[in-house]
Amino acid sequence: MEFSITKPAVQWFINELDLSEGDHVRFFARVGGCSTVQSGYSLGISKESPFEPAKTFESDGITFFIEEKDIWYFDDHDLKIKYSRKYDEISFEYSGQDHD
């Protein structure tokens, strides 16, 4: 599983979550919502320190991570997080497995 975030998406997180250098952002599996990789679950976001990170991505002094206990959610799919200027929001793009 690969995990990446575009520069504009990193800036969105910095602005929306009031992040500073040295902060951490966790992506985790949460019950409810809509996902193309896990029915009945969606991707949650929280500002917290890592405990047992399985995947990390660092940019602009911020560490984005996925904990080992949440890696199942991705089902061997890669995750790319992008920012849409048109909608002023981020989007999650999954690739691999059935989703190329």
Give the bridge partners for 26, in sequence order: 46, 65
**Domain count across the chain:** 1
pLDDT band at 75 (very low <50, low <70, confident <90, very high): confident
- Give a yes or no: residue 100 inside a domain: no
pLDDT at 95 over 60: yes
What pLDDT is attached to residue 24? 98
Q: Mean pLDDT score of the chain, rounded to an integer?
A: 90
- Give a yes or no: residue 31 inside a domain: yes
Our CA dihedral for 53, 83, 41, 60, rounded to 10 degrees, sits at 10
What pLDDT is attached to residue 34? 67
Burial of 30 (0-12, 13-18, 19+ CB in 10 A): middle
Residue 11 to residue 36: CA distance in whole angstroms: 25
Does the pTM exceed 0.85?
A: yes
Element (H or E) spanning 95, and its range?
Answer: strand 89-95
Looking up residue 18, the CATH number of its domain turns out to be 2.60.300.12
